[in-house]
Chains A and B, each alone.
Chain A
């Protein structure tokens, strides 16, 4: 290896770290979305609690949880570092810059969208993760599992929480709209035939996953589940 120690601190290496952690988080979202969708099963949350119980007790999942946290932390810390460096690369700003003429607003606002997501993440973790892992879930369901479903229904009675969640999912959609195809470009995969497919898959992924997530607090608040 030719001095690859320096590889990750170079501009391209830093991009690679963002791309890989981003793709990892994208994969994670699929699993998270699938499991949470179990709340739509019409059985008073038994299936959902079953899934939550599995996630909380399976040792492999617990190990992955550590990796997941690392993925989030690296993605966030690296982006903060990149943002600071990129600001410094243009110390005097333009008096007038017509950014919309050549790029999408959300591509230029990944930092802002990411910050909204970070705030959401903190609230979200304290709503559910902290409760299920540390402070404890007060009730159990008919199967004797922790009733996370009840916690969720209670949490989403608060209209502000619902608004925050929905806003965050809109941010997530735009964050993914740029991040999904961008990760592939960073990995060096730009191909006349496959890039249009990646973009199409990325587009639908970015719409569908956040939409399903957003429907959860909305459905609960509207009394549909």
Chain B
């Protein structure tokens, strides 16, 4: 698959397992096409390693079209690399120059332990969702779409929050490894809809409690998450989560926890 003319030096984090210390290892790749995606460039590197009898680099990926949130990689000091509003699978080699040195590290957070190389365990996100990021309804045939009227602004806000793909770039880039942007998106997508109301204040408390229990840091409003989020999730969601949390804790009567 040598179709181009870019030659690059990669410094890639290699780590055998969660216990291993890990270190950056230098690799050279040549004849890389500028039209390749970053992950395809890694495929070329891995082919190279396999043919040399070395162990290929483990990295997460699935859809390779920016919708699943699996791909990660902290590239040259930024999650998902130098561009804004895209995931690593949507990053192309034309964003780099021939001869560049590229540093590739895994997401780093206490709550995202490295499984191997560039792959981290993001199940802490799943546990936060399981703590309250749902609505309890009996399944059955779907009701008519217009049964429940929803103001357009609310529908739009819910959809914008629902664009979060759970990639964890917000945590990766935050100096505090805080998960506030992710959690607030999951809270906000339901808080804006009528179906989310019955469990609204229970949800915000349980999800925040789970977030804290997972060992994510505390938000200091640097805004790095919003700047790096591939889906443009806004800090407005964090403000909404804060408001809901305060009203749950200070204004609501019912015993929730």
Instruction: Give residues in A with beta carbon < 8 Å to B.
Output: 1-4, 6-7, 10-16, 82, 85-86, 88-99, 101-104, 107-108, 110, 178, 181-182, 185-190
Cβ-defined contact, A95 with B239, below 8 A: no
Cβ-defined contact, A185 with B110, below 8 A: no
CA distance A65 to B22 in the complex (A): 52
Among A12, A16, A86, A187, contact of B175 (Cβ-Cβ < 8 Å): A86
Cβ-defined contact, A90 with B208, below 8 A: no
Among A10, A12, A86, A97, contact of B220 (Cβ-Cβ < 8 Å): A86
Given contacts A89-B215, A94-B77, A99-B175, whether A1 and B249 have CB atoms under 8 Å apart is: yes
Stretch with Cβ within 8 A of A (4 or more), from B35-43, B52-60, B139-147, B221-229? B221-229
B126 at interface, CB cutoff 8 A: no
- Please provide the chain B residues from 3 to 40 with a CB less than 8 Å away from any CB of chain A in the complex: 11, 13, 22, 24
B235 at interface, CB cutoff 8 A: yes
B46 at interface, CB cutoff 8 A: no
Chain B residues within an 8 Å CB radius of A190: 235-236, 238-240
Among A85, A94, A101, A108, contact of B218 (Cβ-Cβ < 8 Å): A85
CA distance A186 to B243 in the complex (A): 9
CA distance A82 to B212 in the complex (A): 13
Among B105, B176, B208, B256, contact of A12 (Cβ-Cβ < 8 Å): B208
Cβ-defined contact, B242 with A187, below 8 A: yes
Given contacts A94-B108, A96-B105, A104-B222, whether A10 and B208 have CB atoms under 8 Å apart is: yes
Among B223, B243, B248, contact of A107 (Cβ-Cβ < 8 Å): B223
Chain B residues within an 8 Å CB radius of A181: 221
Chain B residues within an 8 Å CB radius of A3: 249, 255-257
CA distance A89 to B217 in the complex (A): 5
Among B109, B173, B221, B257, contact of A185 (Cβ-Cβ < 8 Å): B221
Tally of B interface residues using CB under 8 Å: 58
The 10 A-B residue pairs with the shortest CB-CB distance in the complex, in nearest-first order? A98-B77, A89-B217, A190-B239, A188-B243, A102-B227, A86-B176, A7-B249, A89-B177, A188-B242, A86-B217
Q: How far is the CB of B198 from chain A (nearest CB, A)?
A: 15
Cβ-defined contact, B253 with A1, below 8 A: yes
Chain A residues within an 8 Å CB radius of B13: 95
Cβ-defined contact, A101 with B78, below 8 A: yes
B88 at interface, CB cutoff 8 A: no
Additional 16 contacts, C-beta under 8 A, given A90-B217, A185-B221, A185-B235: A11-B178, A11-B217, A15-B218, A82-B220, A86-B175, A86-B177, A88-B110, A90-B109, A94-B74, A94-B108, A95-B24, A95-B105, A98-B76, A102-B228, A185-B238, A188-B246
B50 at interface, CB cutoff 8 A: no
Q: How far is the CB of A114 from chain B (nearest CB, A)?
A: 11
Cβ-defined contact, B242 with A15, below 8 A: yes
B167 at interface, CB cutoff 8 A: no
B182 at interface, CB cutoff 8 A: no
Given contacts A102-B223, A107-B220, whether A186 and B242 have CB atoms under 8 Å apart is: yes
